[in-house]
Amino acid sequence: MGDPRKIAKANTATTSESKTDWDRLSLTDTPLASELAHDMELLSRVQAHPVPRPAQTRIVAVANQKGGVGKTTTAVNLAAALAESGLRVLVVDSDPQGNATTALGIERVEGMPSLYDVFLGRKTMMSTLRQNDKYASLLVVPSSIDLAAVDVDLADADDRRTRLKVAVDSLLLELEELDRHIDYVFIDCPPSMSLLPINALIAAKEVLIPVQCEYYALEGLTQLLRTIDSAKQAANPSLEVSTIVLTMASKNTNLSAEVAENVREYFPQQTLDTVIPRSVRIAESPSYGETVISYAPRSSGAIAYLAAANELANRGR
Ligand code: ATP
Ligand code: MG
C-alpha cells in the first residue's frame, strides 16, 4: 500500500492533466464523436429523403465472383432496409452456401422446397416462397446445397441460362395478379462465374457489385464486367451495372479511403456515396438469423445500410 496522501495527490494531478487535455480537444476530434456525427448525418440524410417506390420492379443481381466481399450481407441488409421502409422485397438465394437464407431467419431443412427445385422444373417459384419473420413484406426463395449441381444437371438443357428469368418473371406476374406487387428483387450470387450467376445476370435488370475496401479490390472486376457484357449481348440488352457498394471499410486506415477513391475513379456514376463500415454488429447478426437492420437498428452498420438503401432507391433507374 502506498501513502494515501501521495495517491490522492497523484490522482489530483492526473485529473487536472486530463481536464486540460479534454479542454484542448474539440469534441469532434475524438474518433467516437466523429463516428457519431457521421451516423447522425447519414440518419438525417435518410430522414430527409423518403424511399420512393419504383415505377417498375427493380431486379438486381448482387454479383462479384470474388469470395467474401459482402455480396450476401449487402443483399439481405438492403432488402431489410427497403422492407423496413414499407416496400415489398424478394430475395432469391442463388448460392448453394445458403447464407442469405439463414441470415433471413430461414432454417435450411433437408427436402424443403428451394431454388434448386425451381431450376429443375419440379416446383414453381411461388411454392418455394418463405416470409421473413421480422418483416412481413420481405419474401425469400431459399437455396439448397444441391444448387451446386445445377451446372451438371442442366448441362444438356437448351434453356439452362434462362430458367431463373422465366421463373422470376412468372412469379412476379402471379404475385401481381394477387395484388402483391414486388418493388425489389435481389438475387444473391455465389462467388463464381458458373451457370448460377449467368442465370442471375439474365434474369436481372441491373447489377449491384459490392467491392471490399482492400488492396486488391478491383482485381477480377474486368472478368466480371466481361461476363456482364456477354449476358447483355446474348440475352439481356438493357442490363447495366447500376450500383457499386463499398463494403467493410476500416475507419482507422488510409487504405480504405484510397481504395474508395480508386473505385470512384473507375465508376464515378455507379458508386454510392454511402460506404459500409466494418462492423461487429453486421458480422454477428446472421448468427441470430437476423439482418443488422432488425438486430441492431441503431448501430453504425445498420445506419449505413439504411442510407445505402435510401440512396439506391432515390437514384432510381
Ligand atoms: P461469398 O462470396 O462466400 O458468398 P460474400 O461476398 O457473400 O461471400 P459475405 O458473406 O456477405 O460475403 O461477407 C463475408 C464475411 O464478412 C461474412 O462473415 C460477413 O459476416 C462479414 N462481413 C460482411 N460485411 C461486413 C461488415 N461491413 N463488417 C464486418 N463484417 C462483415
Ligand atoms: Mg455470399
Q: What pLDDT is attached to residue 218? A: 84
Terminal CA-CA length for the chain:
71
Q: How do the domains of the chain map onto residue ranges?
A: 54-312
pLDDT of residue 5: 37
- Name the percent of the chain in helix, strand, coil, to the closest 5: 50, 15, 35
- The residue contributing the CA closest to ligand 1 atom 15 is 68
Residue 72 Cα to ligand 1 midpoint, Å, equals: 7
Q: What gap in Å lies between CA 247 and CA 249, rounded to an integer? A: 6
Ligand 2 mean position, distance from CA 282 (Å): 14
Ligand that comes closest to the CA of residue 285: 1
Helix axes 71-84, 300-315, angle to 10 degrees: 80
What's the 91 CA to ligand 2 centre distance in angstroms? 12
Lookup result for grid cell 443488422 = 292
Distance 232 CA to ligand 1 centre (A): 28
Instruction: Tell me how far apart the alpha carbons of residues 34 and 306 are, in angstroms, rounded to a whole number.
Output: 19
Distance CA 234, CA 147 (A): 23
Find, among 80, 56, 45, 51, the residue nearest to 317 by Cα: 56
Report the alpha-carbon distance of residue 73 to residue 212 in Å, rounded.
12
Residue 139, all three cell numbers: 419474401
Q: How far is the CA of 195 from the centre of ligand 2 (A)?
A: 16
Which residue has the CA at smallest separation from atom 5 of ligand 1?
Answer: 68
Instruction: State in Å: Cα 307 to ligand 1 middle.
Output: 19
Pocket of ligand 1 (CB under 6 A): 67-73, 95, 97, 99, 190-191, 247-248, 276, 278-279, 282-283, 286, 301
Q: Mutate which of 62, 69, 73, 209 to test ligand 1's pocket (most atoms within 8 Å of Cβ)? A: 73
Atom of ligand 1 lying closest to residue 248 CA: 27
Pocket test for ligand 1, best of 72, 92, 214, 276 (most atoms within 8 A of CB): 72
Class of domain 54-312: alpha beta
- pLDDT averaged over consecutive 10-residue blocks of the chain (317 residues)? 38 40 52 80 83 96 96 98 97 98 94 97 97 97 96 96 98 96 98 95 98 86 93 95 96 84 93 96 97 96 97 86
Ligand nearest to the CA of 78: 1
Question: Which residue's alpha carbon is at the smallest distance from atom 21 of ligand 1?
Answer: 283
For the chain, give the longest Cα–Cα distance: 88
Instruction: Tell me the pairing of strands 138-141 and 130-131.
Output: antiparallel
Count, residues in the chain: 317
Using the mean position of ligand 2's atoms as its centre, give its distance from the Cα of residue 186 in Å: 12
Give the residue, by CA position, lying nearest to ligand 1 atom 18. Answer: 283
What separation in Å is there between the alpha carbon of 19 and the centre of ligand 2? 48
Which ligand 1 atom sits closest to the C-alpha of 285?
20
